[in-house]
Amino acid sequence: MTPIEWFRGFIVILLLIGIPSILYSLLSSLFFVVINKVRIKFVRLILPPVIFIVIAVILSTAGPGLEMLYKTVGFVAAISWLLFGALISMGTITPFPLFERRLPKTKSWIYVFETSIITFFYLFVAEVVNQAGLVRVLSGALPNLYSPIVFLSVLFIEAVVIASLVYGGVALYYRFSGKLASV
């Protein structure tokens, strides 16, 4: 392959994975803003996992199961992919309260948006790599081998772990960037 073909392939993959990542990240930010409108802090803390459970039950009991995401086209597939995006969004929002005090006091939805872009981009790239058979990047839970609730739970936990790593990295950067600049 020539360098031009590599570059074109990179641009196509970036567009096919980057644009959906940004759109789903906007969905995550919208969910975050709506959840933050709740006044009671305890309810705000438990709301993302509760919404995950509701979405997981809906996707697990819906018709033919998770296979419909790959085989159907149209309204049912669009709703299923929106529910999948909402599920990963809840995984991205869940660890935010742990890092909220350690992040600079700017608009919180910006951190959720940035973390969601990284999380969705990683999960989409990992799924492309898995489907291509190159290497098993994500956990070994496949929708065909396990019950849907197990697969969705693993997906949620992966999103929580990735988001926690990103939030922690951002918090560490802001904590030590001022000290490094003064040295």
3-state secondary structure the chain: CCHHHHHHHHHHHHHHHHHHHHHHHHHHHHHHHHHHCCCCHHHHHHHHHHHHHHHHHHHHHCCCHHHHHHHCCCHHHHHHHHHHHHHHHHHHHCCHHHHHHHCCCCCHHHHHHHHHHHHHHHHHHHHHHHHHCCCCCCCCCCCCCCCHHHHHHHHHHHHHHHHHHHHHHHHHHHHHHHHHHHC
Terminal-to-terminal C-alpha distance of the chain: 46
pLDDT in tens, the chain (183 residues): 788 888 887 787 778 788 888 888 998 999 999 998 988 889 888 999 998 888 888 777 765 555 555 555 566 666 777 778 888 899 999 999 888 888 887 788 889 999 999 998 888 887 777 767 666 555 555 555 667 777 788 888 989 999 999 999 988 888 887 665 554
Sequence spans of domains, the chain: 3-182
pTM of the model: 0.80
What pLDDT, on the 0 to 100 scale, is given for residue 93?
92
Contact 89, 27 (CB under 8 A): yes
**Confidence (pLDDT) at 69:** 55
- pLDDT for 175 equals 82
What is the predicted pLDDT for the residue at 164? 94
Q: What is the pLDDT of residue 92?
A: 92
Tell me if 154 sits within 8 A of 66, measured CB to CB.
Answer: no
